[in-house]
Amino acid sequence: MAGTPASHLLDNLRLPRRDLGELPASSKRFPDGVRYRIEIPSTEGPRCLAAALEEAERLDVPVRRISQGSGVFLLTDGELDEMVEQADAAGIEISLFARPCAGWGVSATARSLAGSGFAAAAHGQDQVAAVLDDILRAADHGVRSVLISDLGVLAAFGKLRASGDLPSDMQAKISVMLPITNAATARVLEDLGADTLNVATDLSLAQIAAIRSAVDIPLDVYVEAPDNLGGFVRHHEIPQLIEVAAPVYVKFGLRNAPDVYPAGTHLEATTVALTRERVRRARLGLDLLRRYGVDEATSKPRAAGLALPVRPGVR
């Protein structure tokens, strides 16, 4: 392969020399053999989850993972249990954000123009401890997937899971707020214990293909991104995305929508409405796939590889 004078050194690291503009088809798959699954992000609590599941049934959208952004610590014990119960009944994965982070604390750097990429980091060891507390609390309530946005927290997560301090089936979903913009970074995160990688929203298909060539774990890719993550609407790329990025969680965010983080009951009507529209966007994506001749099955509920919640005392 062509490249810069030093790019041949990447061969020794088993990394691609360049972005893969030829868009090679990925032969990798989820454990059940499928290429893609549907994820609905920003599902902020049990009312939103109920709305997502109701809308998914109405529109025949096979949602297999929902994710939340406000943080475990902004859910009551009862709300956590209710979300676990709903997700368990539906056979889907719920992934809750492990907070806090610099942008929500007293960090001046996180609020500066130059330091905006620092906002999702754990700001000091007190925040690292608080994030780990969020992860442990989620695990205690039966949640088996958490969103992580800090490199050190991920490293600690991997070690705690290996030592038995966290359940062995607990999964780390890397947040889009921890920038994954190249194959080398993706490999580091996989080596540290990540189970799924939310890549940056502005990557080309060639850049995504290079990342896929370097890691085996699923990629999570926004095909519609919130305004504060770029506001990209890339539905037309879904067929090629599935081809080059499999196994991939196709994520339907929402452009032209308010930033509701941190969410709460004061915003419940808004967050529920936004959740319903995200599921509708997923229906549009599935319809596009069929028009493009990609009419294939996706995972069934409780499919292998999903970080299914465990209801305490049930199983």
CATH classification of the domain holding 210: 3.20.20.70
Give whole-number Cα distances, 63 to 28, 38, 54, 299, in Å: 21, 5, 11, 9
Q: Does the residue 312 lie in any domain?
A: no
Q: Does the residue 217 lie in any domain?
A: yes
Q: Looking at residue 8, what is its pLDDT?
A: 87
Q: What residues contact 111, with CB distance under 8 A and at least 6 apart?
A: 103, 119
Give me the tens of pLDDT residue by residue for the chain, a chain 315 residues long. Answer: 566 778 889 999 999 999 999 999 999 999 999 999 999 999 999 999 999 999 999 999 999 999 999 999 999 999 999 999 999 999 999 999 999 887 788 888 877 777 777 788 899 999 999 999 999 999 999 999 999 999 999 999 999 999 999 999 999 999 999 999 999 999 999 999 999 999 999 999 999 999 999 999 999 999 999 998 999 999 999 999 999 999 999 999 999 999 999 999 999 999 999 999 999 999 999 999 999 999 888 999 999 999 999 987 654
Number of domains the chain contains: 1
Q: What residues contact 54, with CB distance under 8 A and at least 6 apart?
A: none
Q: What is the pLDDT of residues 290-314, one digit of tens each?
A: 999 998 889 999 999 999 999 876 5
- What's the DSSP call for residue 109? G
Report the distance separating Cα 187 and Cα 214, nearest Å: 6
Q: Does the residue 10 lie in any domain?
A: no
Range of the domain at 33: 24-291
Q: Does the residue 307 lie in any domain?
A: no
Amino acid residing at 49: L
Q: What is the pLDDT of residues 17-53, one digit of tens each?
A: 999 999 999 999 999 999 999 999 999 999 999 999 9
Secondary structure (3-state) at 147: strand
Reported residue count of the chain is 315
Number of Cα atoms under 13 Å in the Cβ half of residue 236: 2
Report the distance separating Cα 157 and Cα 195, nearest Å: 11
Q: Does the residue 90 lie in any domain?
A: yes
Q: What residues contact 74, with CB distance under 8 A and at least 6 apart?
A: 99, 262, 263, 264
Report the distance separating Cα 267 and Cα 273, nearest Å: 10
- pTM assigned to the model: 0.95
Report the distance separating Cα 97 and Cα 106, nearest Å: 20
Give whole-number Cα distances, 229 to 60, 109, 199, 259, 315, in Å: 28, 19, 12, 11, 39
Measured over all CA atoms, what is the biggest interatomic distance in the chain, rounded to whole angstroms? 60
Q: Looking at residue 53, what is its pLDDT?
A: 98
Amino acid residing at 238: I
In degrees and rounded to multiples of 5, residue 149 shows phi and psi of -125, 15
Contact 98, 74 (CB under 8 A): no
Q: Looking at residue 291, what is its pLDDT?
A: 95
Residue 309 tokens, joined: 């919640």
Q: Looking at residue 315, what is its pLDDT?
A: 46
Q: Looking at residue 268, what is its pLDDT?
A: 94
Q: Looking at residue 105, what is its pLDDT?
A: 81
Q: Does the residue 113 lie in any domain?
A: yes
Report the distance separating Cα 59 and Cα 118, nearest Å: 38
Q: Looking at residue 313, what is its pLDDT?
A: 64
Residue 220: is it exposed, middle or buried by C-beta count within 10 angstroms (0-12/13-18/19+)? buried
Q: Looking at residue 61, what is its pLDDT?
A: 98
Radius of gyration from C-alpha coordinates of the chain: 19
Q: Does the residue 298 lie in any domain?
A: no
